[in-house]
Amino acid sequence: MVRSQAKVSEAAAKPVAETKAAKTVAEVKASLEKTEKKAPAKKTEKPAVKAAAKKADADTKAKRKKKKIDKTTMALRKDPIQESYFEIDGEQIMVEDTVKKIKEAYKNEGHRIGTITSLKTYFNFAERRAYYVINDNEEGKYVDF
């Protein structure tokens, strides 16, 4: 009887193994169907991604075009070199040199030149001095020219 029970158990084991295999095949088919269902969702995402890529590409082209235009207009807008002079008794005094002296005097007082937001200069030719007002605070300061 032991032999007949062994044959029965082998026979019973085969359908179980076949059902496990069948389940795994069914599971594989189901997972493939799920991935196929997900694939159309990706197709709907692609146009949005393509649209974003086209917009980004258009933006970069526009920036390049604007940069090119800016370079040409900057070449046209370039300010000419300007020099301003005062002439007193045959002596020429350059305005830019006077402004440099004012900034240097302001720096020597312990201030930073970068803090200057406004600079007003008044030339007194009789005294040969340039009075200045920086940031509407300093009054009565001058440099000789």
Cβ atoms of residues 115 and 138 within 8 Å: no
**E strand map for the chain:** 85-88, 91-94, 119-124, 129-134, 141-144
Torsion angles phi and psi, residue 8, rounded to 5 = -65, -40
Q: For residue 96, what are its two tokens? A: 């830019």
Residue 101 is predicted with a pLDDT of 95
Residue 108 is predicted with a pLDDT of 93
Tens digit of each residue's pLDDT, the chain (145 residues): 555 555 555 555 555 445 455 556 677 677 767 666 555 554 555 666 666 676 677 777 776 666 666 666 666 666 677 889 989 888 899 999 999 999 999 999 999 999 999 999 999 988 999 999 999 887 789 999 8
